[in-house]
Amino acid sequence: MIRQMRHEDIRSLLGAYALDAVDASERAEVEAHLETCADCRREVDDHLAVASMLASADDATPDDLWTRVERRLDLDGEAETAEVVPISLLRRARAAAIGVGAVAALLALVVGFQTVRIGSLDADLVAAEGRLDRLEGALAAGDYGSLARTVSADPSADTMLLAGDQGIAVTIVMLPDGTGVLVSSSLVPLDAERTYQLWAVQDGAVISAGLLGANPGFVPFHVDPSRLDGLVITAERAGGVPVSEQPAVAAWFPDA
Which of 6, 25, 39, 70 binds another protein (CB under 8 A)? It is 70
For another protein, how many residues bind (rule: CB under 8 A)? 58
N-to-C CA span, the chain: 59
| 250 near another protein, rule: CB under 8 A | no
What is the spatial distance between Cα 152 and Cα 65, in angstroms, rounded to a whole number? 14
Which of 25, 120, 159, 186 binds another protein (CB under 8 A)? It is 186
Shortest separation between residue 36's beta carbon and another protein, angstroms: 15
| 55 near another protein, rule: CB under 8 A | yes
| 41 near another protein, rule: CB under 8 A | yes
How many other C-beta atoms can be found within 10 angstroms of the C-beta atom of residue 197? 24
Shortest separation between residue 73's beta carbon and another protein, angstroms: 6
| 61 near another protein, rule: CB under 8 A | yes
| 144 near another protein, rule: CB under 8 A | yes
Which of 25, 31, 39, 76 binds another protein (CB under 8 A)? It is 76
Shortest separation between residue 109's beta carbon and another protein, angstroms: 30
What is the spatial distance between Cα 230 and Cα 200, in angstroms, rounded to a whole number? 6
Which of 65, 96, 100, 127 binds another protein (CB under 8 A)? It is 65
| 20 near another protein, rule: CB under 8 A | yes
Q: Which residues bind another protein (CB under 8 A)?
A: 12-16, 18-23, 41, 45-62, 65-70, 72-73, 76, 139-142, 144-145, 148-149, 152, 167, 169, 183-184, 186, 189, 213, 215, 217-218
